[in-house]
Amino acid sequence: MRWFGASLVFLAELSLLFALAWWPLARFDGPLSWALAAALPVAVAIFWGTFLSPKARRPVGRVPTLVARTLILLAALPLYWVLGAPLLFGVHAAAVVVGTALTGGRPAPE
């Protein structure tokens, strides 16, 4: 079941990046919106890959990874709320909660 939980967490990661790109386009006008839509997902993806991914170059430990990963993934929820996307809000929340519970904070076995 851990592979299923890891798949849900991965889908939540993709959903987070989507929300980070969509929110500035809906909130701001002009070049600022496009710059933020490009920069926010890239910055979070770099941070995630460096510290939180299962193959992180600089892992921070199991508990800090679990806490940081969960908080960052949950950060997409207010974005979906203000964007008026209740279906995406619910699907993302379910993927984060169920995925994290099934993996127990550990990556899926290879």
pLDDT per residue rounded down to tens, the chain (110 residues): 788 999 999 999 999 999 999 999 999 999 999 999 999 999 999 999 999 888 888 988 888 988 999 999 999 999 999 999 999 999 999 999 999 999 876 654 54
Cα angle: 21, vertex 24, 29; to 5 degrees: 135
Here the tokens at position 34 are: 């496009």
Here the tokens at position 96 are: 């984060």
